[in-house]
Amino acid sequence: MEPGEPEEPGWEPGWEPGEPGWARGGPALGGRGLLALAVASGAAAWATWALVLMPGFRRVPLRLQVPYQPSSPRQVANALALLRGRAGKTVDLGSGDGRLVVEAYKQGLRPALGYELNPWLLCLANYRAWRAGYHGKVSFLKEDLWKVDLSDCNNVIVFLAPSVKPPLATKLLAELPDGARVVSGRFPFPSWTPSSTLGQGLEQVWAYDMKEVRRAAQSSAQGSPV
């Protein structure tokens, strides 16, 4: 650079013209920087839990709490494939963001509704229904799935953790009509024999026809020693 010529804007010692800014690097994170990063990450995780997940857990006993985990497109397709050709009231227990309910309605399963306690997920579910053009046609209710009456349901979708399947099986046996079908995703009901199944691994789903489940339960009870 000639004497008196203005310096190139942004020039710093040790930096060559044309070198992108991100290539210059920066000071390495010291112990305090790493600690601050860890605290910030922890705070973000806690905020996600407090705002998105925890509101749905406050009124549910610890052993019956189920964390939110969205269903994959293949899981949704497999579940609805096992309900193809059926009709009548269809419910998703713990409906999360509403994707299964919306797809059930598309398939002609009506009325279609979901039960969910988390208010943020309910908002997301209603937004999903609105985007699909089904606002007012599907329902998402802020109710505890353990307290709702399922006696008028023809199809029940269950994507829940294995820990809640045994107590849920008792509820379904007590309330569902013989013609009802239960479709379980990710994990089967441990004491029931499925009528059919589809998929592999975490994408596997199981269908249970309540008439067959009751018949098997009665045969097992009759064969048990008193």
Report the distance separating Cα 72 and Cα 201, nearest Å. Answer: 12
* % of the chain with per-residue pLDDT over 70: 69
At 14-29, the pLDDT tens digits run 555 555 554 455 555 5
Residue 166 banded pLDDT, cuts 50, 70, 90: very high
pLDDT tens per residue, range 72-101: 999 999 999 999 999 999 999 999 999 999
Provide the domain limits for residue 111.
73-221
Question: Residue written as tokens 């908002």?
Answer: 123
Asked if the structure places residue 88 within a domain, the reply is yes
* Domain count along the chain: 1
Residue 135's φ and ψ, nearest 5 degrees, are: -60, 130
Q: Is 183 helix (H, G, I), strand (E, B) or coil?
A: strand
Residue 85 DSSP class? T
Specify if 15 maps to a domain.
Answer: no
98 within 8 A of 128, measured Cβ to Cβ: yes
Q: Is residue 197 assigned to a domain? A: yes
How far is the CA of 98 from the CAs of 138, 161, 209, 220, in angstroms? 9, 17, 24, 37
The answer to whether position 140 is within a domain reads yes
Q: What is the mean pLDDT of residues 200-214?
A: 96
Mean pLDDT for all residues in the chain: 82
Full-prediction pTM beyond 0.75? Answer: no
Q: Which residues contact 29 (CB under 8 A, 6 or more apart)?
A: 37
Sequence-ordered list of residues with C-beta below 8 angstroms from that of 199, at least 6 positions apart, any chain:
74, 75, 78, 205
Looking up tokens 């994507």 gives 159
CATH of the domain at 213: 3.40.50.150
Residue type, 73: P
**Taking residues 200-225, what's their average pLDDT?**
89
Q: Is the pLDDT of residue 63 over 50?
A: no
What is the reported pLDDT for 28? 56
Tell me whether residue 37 is in a domain.
no
Tell me the sheet residues that pair with 181: 155, 209
Does residue 215 lie within any of the structural domains? yes
Whether 47 has a pLDDT exceeding 90, the answer reads no
143-161, pLDDT tens digit by residue? 999 999 999 999 999 999 8
Q: What is the mean pLDDT of residues 216-221?
A: 85
Residue among 24, 27, 2 nearest 11 (CA): 24
175: pLDDT strictly greater than 90: yes
